[in-house]
């Protein structure tokens, strides 16, 4: 079993999701089920096979590095949970 409760706690910390103590055990079982199923992939010989990250067949387009949009503070802040003086507000991070 690759994933134990401690691993779940570590992943939850990386993913920034609070997961209660009881649910950590449930998730460990579920993740192990999924991971042992995807282990099927190890049956496939992928030596010398390049990973496929994009199916488009074209490379990403380039454009001039110039400003094409902006000056929309009101729109950017239209859905903000908390704002002051045109800024996003977060809990204090530096004492």
Return the residue of 15, 65, 70, 84 that touches another protein, per CB under 8 A. Answer: 15
Cβ atoms of residues 22 and 29 within 8 Å? no
Contact, 5 vs 31, CB < 8 A? Answer: no
> Dihedrals φ, ψ of 89, to 5°?
-110, 130
Choice between 51 and 86, CB closer to another protein: 51
Q: Residues 3, 34: contact at Cβ < 8 Å? A: no
- CB closer to another protein out of 66 and 93: 93
Residues that bind another protein (CB under 8 A): 3, 7-8, 11-12, 14-19, 27, 30-31, 33-35, 37-44, 46, 49-58, 60-61, 63, 72, 75-76, 78-82, 88, 90-93
């Amino acid at each position: 079993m690759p994933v134990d409760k401690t691993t779940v706690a570590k992943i939850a910390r990386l993913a920034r999701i609070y997961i209660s103590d009881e649910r950590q055990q449930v998730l460990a079982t579920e993740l192990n089920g999924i991971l042992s199923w995807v282990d099927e992939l190890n049956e496939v010989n992928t030596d010398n096979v390049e990973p496929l990250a994009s199916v488009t067949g074209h490379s990403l387009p380039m454009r001039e590095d110039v400003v094409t949009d902006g000056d929309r503070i009101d729109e950017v802040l239209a859905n903000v949970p908390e704002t002051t003086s045109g800024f996003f507000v977060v809990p204090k991070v530096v004492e």
